[in-house]
Amino acid sequence: MSTSGDSQPYLNDFMMRDDEDGVSGDDESDNKHSGGNYMLREQDRFLPICNIIKIMKVPVPENGKIAKDARECIQECVSEFISFITSEAIERSIAENRKTVNGDDLLYAFANLGFDNYVEPLSMYLHKFREFTV
């Protein structure tokens, strides 16, 4: 697997989006078929299976295997998870009259939806990120 090659594009993506807080420049470009309904292509609904498998292999012991049905199931679950948390975070930002979702909304969503054990590691991560970008 091309681990080192893979991480490069993400890094670029991350760098490119760095100025995002202020401007709404190219961000809207991936919304080209807007007009209200933003259609999602089938292949965009899920994260790439190879990335998911790589992460799944971490907690599984070396002699362990992962069946195809389990991989595909997790792939679906992950997209559902993202939408689930995002909706909750958006609701909270709307309730507070903000247009943009922030990290604290996300943390709130995790706590509110029963993922309390995510809050601590994620707030540490958030803290690190904020330090890093200031």
Site string for another protein, 89-128 (x = CB under 8 A): xx--------xxxxx-xxx--x--xxx--x--xx--xx-x
Least separation in angstroms between CB 100 and another protein: 5
Q: List, in order, residues 6 or more apart from 56 with CB less than 8 Å away.
A: 66, 71, 74
**Closer residue to another protein, CB minimum distance, 81 or 96:** 81
Q: List, in order, residues 6 or more apart from 116 with CB less than 8 Å away.
A: 110
Least separation in angstroms between CB 13 and another protein: 5
**Residue of 5, 67, 95, 134 interacting with another protein (CB under 8 A):** 67
Q: Does 47 bind another protein (CB under 8 A)?
A: yes
The encoded tokens of residue 15 equal: 């760098």
Least separation in angstroms between CB 74 and another protein: 6
Angstrom CA distances, 134 to 63, 96, 130, 131, stand at 44, 25, 6, 6
Least separation in angstroms between CB 67 and another protein: 4
Distance separating alpha carbons of residues 53 and 47, to the nearest angstrom: 11
Distance separating alpha carbons of residues 54 and 66, to the nearest angstrom: 11
**Residue of 5, 32, 42, 61 interacting with another protein (CB under 8 A):** 61
**Closer residue to another protein, CB minimum distance, 59 or 95:** 59
